[in-house]
Amino acid sequence: MPEYKNLFNILTGAQSAADTAIGIASETIPETQTEIDLMTEYCVNADKKILPIITEIKNLQNQIIVLSNQAFAVGCGTTTDATTLNEDVVLNYKQNLNDKNYTGTDPFGGQSGPEISSSNIGIGTLTVYSANGGSGIGTLYADIGSCYSPGIGSCLVDSDCTGYATSIANLNNQITTLRNQLPSLISDTNALKEERKQLEIQRYGDLFIIGQLGERKTNIDTAKTTIQDS
């Protein structure tokens, strides 16, 4: 049957084309991975500049809470208009395509944003900084420079409290100086991560093609067998 042979040849040709495409993609992946690995080294170096700054900001914020509690313990400050101090945070957002073995259908899904640390510097597709965007670390009592509970063992006059207020203000000034360094550093690391993301998209595309074409080859085998048996 000419029709049978023609169809069989078409399917065999499709399998051959799939093999060729799989071969090309398979050769490209290692090259792309080498570029990704190199870019990751620069991402790590960029994140290393961010980590000590955010760590120091958190340290200073904790010192503020210690001072706030010490001041309140001796009668300085008030709970009226007191606030919770939330720590600053830097998050490294990840997506499925960051996984070099991911072959699913949602490469941009699976987003998560672990806080930057020495164990995850350089990861992800996007780094985000949020001032006071982290968890609450303690109470910042209001009007620390004023004495609200004068008495034995406590403040007697406002001047007994001004030292606490001054120390907290100095710490806040240090935090502001550190915060001002972060935008440009965040921009630098995100520029690198965006370029690495493009490489990861390319890697994902090749892996996905290999998987899809492998499934098609299997399906063609089934189709050819069905045709032969009919």
In the chain, domain spans: 2-229
Q: What is the pLDDT of residue 153?
A: 75
Rounded CA-CA distance 112/52 in Å is: 22
Q: Phi and psi at residue 57, in whole multiples of 5°? A: -60, -45
Please give the C-alpha separations between residue 104 and each of 6, 96, 100, 126, 144, in angstroms, as whole numbers: 35, 8, 11, 21, 55
Rounded CA-CA distance 144/174 in Å is: 19
| Exposure string for 166-202, b = 16+ CB within 10 A, e = fewer | ebbeebeeebeebeeebeebbebbbebbeebbebbbb
Q: What is the pLDDT of residue 1?
A: 53
Rounded CA-CA distance 230/223 in Å is: 11
Q: Strand pairing partners for 94?
A: 112
Give 149-165 as a DSSP string. Answer: S-STTS--SGGGTHHHH
Q: Tokens representing 52?
A: 């000590």
Q: What is the pLDDT of residue 4?
A: 66
| 8 A C-beta contact, residue 175 and residue 60 | yes
- Could you give the dihedral angle defined by the CA atoms of residues 82, 87, 88 and 94, in that order, rounded to the nearest 10 degrees? -130
53 three-class SS: helix
In the block, tokens 């620069």 appear at: 42
Q: What is the pLDDT of residue 197?
A: 98
> Which segments in the chain show pLDDT lower than 50?
none
| 8 A C-beta contact, residue 200 and residue 61 | no
Name every residue whose Cβ is closer than 8 Å to that of residue 74 and which is 6 or more positions away in sequence.
153, 154, 155, 160, 161
